[in-house]
């Protein structure tokens, strides 16, 4: 999967504190790559980027709830390391 396929016109929610950067840096990179940043997880969310320090937060639990009620993943989970890899950072 290419960077464009991952980010272009996709909706992202970010949760937690990140080791390598902050949420603003990540939001700016998502927008630069053609994605949209949302504040809350919903069935319209494509990806939830989860920091290592927040694996059981409210947004994470909401994503799991949405995914458990669907035939396939509604919200894909992405770790901080995966984000940096896919975003070429």
* Structural domains in the chain plus CATH codes: 3-86 (3.40.50.10190)
From residue 21, alpha-carbon distances to 7, 70, 80, 88 in Å are: 19, 33, 9, 14
For the chain, the 3-state helix, strand and coil shares in percent, each to the nearest 5, are 35, 20, 45
Q: Which residues pair with 78 in a beta bridge?
A: 49
Q: Which residues pair with 50 in a beta bridge?
A: 15, 79
pLDDT for residue 9: 96
Q: Are 42 and 50 in contact (CB under 8 A)?
A: no
pTM: 0.89
User: What pLDDT score was predicted for residue 33?
Assistant: 96
Q: From first to last of its 89 residues, what are the pLDDT tens digits of the chain? A: 888 899 999 999 999 888 888 889 999 999 999 999 999 999 999 999 998 776 678 999 999 899 987 777 789 999 999 999 999 87
Q: Report the C-alpha gap between 60 and 63 in whole angstroms.
A: 5
């Amino acid at each position: 999967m290419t960077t464009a396929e991952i980010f272009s016109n996709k909706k992202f929610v970010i949760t937690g504190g990140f080791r390598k950067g902050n949420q603003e840096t990540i939001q700016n990179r998502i927008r630069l790559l053609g994605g949209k940043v949302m504040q809350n997880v919903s069935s319209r969310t494509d990806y939830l980027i989860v920091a290592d320090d927040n694996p059981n937060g409210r947004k994470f639990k909401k994503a799991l709830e949405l995914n458990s009620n669907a035939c396939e993943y509604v919200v894909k989970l992405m770790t901080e390391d995966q984000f940096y890899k896919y975003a070429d950072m």
